[in-house]
Amino acid sequence: MEKKQVLIAKDTCPRCGSEFYCGKSGKCWCYEVSVSAETQEAINEKYDTCLCPECLKSLSENPKQIM
């Protein structure tokens, strides 16, 4: 059976519920948002999936929002 390669997956942001696309393999917008390793870790612990660009940006600027 042929396996379809999904380069861009549609996700729902677990924080605000808006839909966004994440380039799970390869280049993704999230590489362009500078998030500190600590913030990224906190996000990974709290949320199962990626966040949308807006939430990631807002959390990167204000990491306390995650706690």
List residues binding Zn ion (CB under 5 A): 13, 15-16, 52, 55
Residue 23: CB minimum distance to Zn ion, A:
16
Amino acid code (one letter) for 24: K
Closest alpha carbon to 33 in 15, 52, 13, 18: 52
DSSP type of residue 7: S
Residue 2: CB minimum distance to Zn ion, A:
33
Residue 48: CB minimum distance to Zn ion, A:
14
Nearer to Zn ion, 17 or 26 (CB): 17
